[in-house]
Amino acid sequence: MVILSREIERKFLVDRHPEEFDGLPGRKIRQGYLAVTEGGTEVRVRREGKRHVLTIKEGHGLGRGEDELEITVAQFAALWPLTRGRRIKKTRYRVPHDGRTIEVDVYRGKLKGLTTAEVEFPDEESSSRFQPPAWLGREVTGDEHFRNQDLARHGWPLEAGR
């Protein structure tokens, strides 16, 4: 049995880019899913800049298990073809807000036009106290249509519109 660290995270749609967003450097991310189970466990590979990572996540909603393992460029290259049909491309911006960092993902390719934001917390209490800035739109934490694994497999959620 693998014991994963716990990740507490809230996710939002972004209706308009904040002023704080202007001039921030973005990091291009390519990620693909090797396996996704009905129970929400996922195994993915990600390239972010020069960093290559294999990630295992389990569960749904606010608190999830997560573990990451750095892999080599060669390992990433060997695994990447296995993700065909289950990939996303995005650019990530790190926006400081009230002592926290909001990670804003601007999707590219088949998801162009979709922008989401995620905020991580050390515990559920601080998560419930978080006051989102006005530029964050509807909260989609726990909405399966906006999980990256579902975006990679199914594309644009119908409810998001285009």
The residue annotated as part of the active site, out of 33, 76, 93, 135, is 33
Residue 146 tokens, joined = 């906006």
* Euclidean distance between CA atoms 107 and 114, whole angstroms: 6
User: Residues 97, 118: contact at Cβ < 8 Å?
Assistant: no
Give me the residues paired with residue 11 across strands: 118
Domain range annotation of the chain: 8-155
Is residue 33 among the annotated active site residues?
A: yes
Total-model pTM: 0.88
Q: How confident is the model at residue 44 (pLDDT cuts 50, 70, 90)?
A: very high
Q: Which homologous superfamily is 8-155 in? A: Hypothetical Protein Pfu-838710-001 (2.40.320.10)
Encode pLDDT of 46-104 as tens digits. 999 999 999 998 876 666 677 899 999 999 999 999 999 999 999 999 998 888 999 99
Q: Specify whether the CB–CB gap between 120 and 9 falls below 8 A.
A: yes
